[in-house]
Amino acid sequence: MRILLAEDDPLLGDGLRAGLRQLGFQVDWVRDGEAAERELRAEPYAAAVLDLGLPRLDGLDVLARVRRAGVTLPVLVLTARDAVPDRIRGLDLGADDYVVKPVDLHELAARLRALVRRAHGQPQERLQAQDVTLDPAARGVTLAGTPVALSAREFDLLHALMLAAGRVLTREQLEQQLYSWGQEVESNAIEVHIHHLRRKLGAGLIQTVRGVGYCLPRQAATR
């Protein structure tokens, strides 16, 4: 799950990026509001963590601008501004959640997972497709109740496909969700991960739409 982190404090930003990566997120980190707006307009992130006290462009202005531009991804506001009017204004401008610093890293991760899940119309935490169950919090997958060992990339790819059940995702879209800045992507990486997932979870789980991409059948549901 690829997210954007907009935080100007170098120590906090570095800690959040490292911690969220350990919890399974792909994190791109920007340090000012103009960069945050530019990236949110250009890249298909699953969610964003947005500080309000950003240099060059205030976080609330970033939020207002990207919402006016039609950017709909979930935005979690992370700020030291704990006054009720600030929280109300942020929510009215389009924030989906609001957390006051300092924040527990595991709580932040749980809130992000919940925002992304709801944005995809998935009310429950565990995702189900055929006999495959995926637990985003535990980063675990079972097949007919038996745990299946997946690599980090395989898990992230399966997670992306299950969230988008019924929709075709192109190779480019999948690469954008799985890899953050500076990570090298082999030309056939997605195809290799798909092959491994089919070998471990069954050939019929992931469908290939020739010339377009990959999808899970629409009957994929939550549990």
| Residues of the domain holding 158 | 127-222
Who has greater pLDDT, 55 or 84? Answer: 55
Out of 77, 94, 119, a domain closes at: 119
Q: What's the predicted TM-score (pTM) here?
A: 0.82
**CB atoms inside a 10 Å sphere around CB 14:** 12
Q: Mark whether 114 and 207 lie in a shared domain.
A: no
Q: What is the pLDDT of residue 80?
A: 81
Coil, strand, or helix at residue 107? helix
- Indicate if 6 and 112 belong to the same structural domain: yes
Q: What is the pLDDT of residue 70?
A: 95
DSSP 3-state assignment of 170?
Answer: coil
Instruction: Give the residue from 119, 136, 163 where a domain finishes.
Output: 119
Looking at residue 178, its pLDDT comes to: 86
pLDDT of residue 35: 97
Do 143 and 168 lie in a common domain? yes
- Tell which wins on pLDDT, 164 or 196: 196
- Least trusted range by pLDDT, from 59-68, 72-81, 100-109, 177-186: 177-186
User: Do residues 24 and 114 share a domain?
Assistant: yes
- One domain for residues 213 and 148: yes
Specify whether 99 is located in the same domain as 168.
no
Q: Round to whole Å and give the CA distance between 164 and 185.
A: 22
Q: Tell whether 43 and 148 lie within a shared domain.
A: no
CA nearest neighbour of 85 among 52, 38, 40, 118: 52
Report the CATH number that the domain containing residue 208 is assigned in CATH.
1.10.10.10
User: By the 8 A CB rule, do 132 and 157 touch?
Assistant: no
Q: Are residues 165 and 93 in the same domain?
A: no
Q: Which position has the token pair 């109740």?
A: 145
Query: Once rounded to an integer, what is the mean pLDDT over residues 9-32?
Result: 95
Same domain membership, residue 58 and residue 16: yes
Both 97 and 8 in one domain: the answer is yes
Cα separation, 174 vs 57, in Å, equals 31
Q: How confident is the model at residue 182 (pLDDT cuts 50, 70, 90)?
A: low
**What is the mean predicted confidence (pLDDT) over 3-21?**
96
pLDDT, tens digit, 9 for 90 and up, residues 111-126: 999 999 899 888 778 8
| Model confidence pLDDT, tens digit, residues 137-178 | 899 999 999 999 999 999 999 999 999 888 999 998 998 888
DSSP-based three-state secondary structure for 142? strand
Number of folded domains in the chain? 2
Please report the pLDDT score of residue 123 as a whole number. Answer: 74
pLDDT class of 180 with cuts at 50, 70, 90: confident
Q: Are residues 72 and 90 in the same domain?
A: yes
User: What pLDDT does 208 receive?
Assistant: 93
Tokens representing residue 62 in the block: 């970033």
Q: What is the mean pLDDT of residues 95-116?
A: 93
Q: Which of 26-30, 31-35, 87-91, 110-114 has the lowest mean pLDDT?
A: 87-91
DSSP 180: -
What DSSP designation does 75 have? E
What are the φ and ψ backbone dihedral angles of 217, each rounded to 5 degrees?
A: -60, 150
What average pLDDT does range 200-215 have in this prediction? 93
- Can you name the residues that pair with 214 across neighbouring β-strands? 169, 208
